């Protein structure tokens, strides 16, 4: 067993409150929820982050995250949800095993993201960045 917290949870060596499991992934309740009902979806195989995962694993995790999110709306009465992954300390990643957060959002009790738009001075700046991104695909 390696020293990864979520590998230990996937293996059952550390207990978790599971909501879904199959041969490739596990979904369980976040111990420090941003909103009550906040769940995490992880691959059973260790990948440090989304960049390192295979397309197959990434696609499967998104399918399961969607399934959990829809269940949160049906069963908990959530009016919406956020599905996110944090990659790298700069983005807020604290556990080095790929995970998607599935966060239900309730009317009147929504978690507010500090989502502050910083518009381009000129749209040519966006075009230049788009060209750089395209060149790396
Ligand atoms: P990150 O900051 O890496 O995007 O998210 C890690 C998440 O894992 C946090 O939301 C944190 O509350 C959750 N977490 C950390 N340790 C445990 C644990 O032992 N059990 C569970 N269920 N969640 C954990
Ligand atoms: Zn791991």
**76-129: per-residue pLDDT in tens?**
999 999 999 999 999 999 999 999 999 999 998 878 888 899 999 999 999 999
pLDDT of residue 70: 98
pTM over 0.85: yes
Q: Is 99 a catalytic residue?
A: yes
Per-domain residue ranges of the chain: 5-136
Three-class SS state of 103 = strand
Q: What is the mean pLDDT of residues 10-38?
A: 97
Tell me if 29 sits within 8 A of 39, measured CB to CB: yes
Tell me if 50 sits within 8 A of 33, measured CB to CB: no
Tell me if 46 sits within 8 A of 2, measured CB to CB: yes
Is ligand 1 within 6 A of the CB of residue 28? yes
Is ligand 1 within 6 A of the CB of residue 87? no
CA distance 64 to 41: 7
pLDDT of residue 1: 57
Pick the CATH number of 5-136 from 3.90.190.10, 1.20.1530.20, 3.30.428.10, 3.40.50.2300: 3.30.428.10
Ligand 1 atom at minimum distance from 94 CA: 3
**51-82: per-residue pLDDT in tens?**
999 999 999 999 999 999 999 999 999 999 99
| Residues in contact with 41: Cβ distance below 8 Å, sequence separation at least 6, in sequence order | 20, 25, 26, 27, 61, 64, 65, 68, 99, 100, 102
CA distance 112 to 31: 19
Identify the nearest ligand to the CA of 94 by its number: 1
């Amino acid at each position: 067993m390696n020293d990864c917290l979520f590998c230990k949870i996937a293996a059952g060596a550390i207990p978790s409150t599971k909501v879904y499991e199959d041969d490739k992934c596990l979904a369980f309740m976040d111990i420090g929820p941003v909103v009550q009902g906040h769940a995490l979806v992880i691959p059973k195989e260790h990948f440090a982050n989304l960049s390192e995962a295979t397309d197959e694993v990434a696609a499967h995790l998104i399918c399961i995250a969607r399934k959990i999110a829809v269940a949160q709306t049906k069963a908990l009465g959530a009016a919406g949800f956020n599905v996110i992954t944090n990659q790298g300390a700069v983005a807020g990643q604290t556990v080095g095993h790929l995970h998607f957060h599935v966060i239900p959002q309730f009317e009147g009790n929504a978690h507010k993201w500090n989502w502050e738009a910083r518009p381009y001075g000129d749209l040519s700046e966006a075009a230049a960045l788009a060209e750089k991104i395209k060149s790396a695909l």
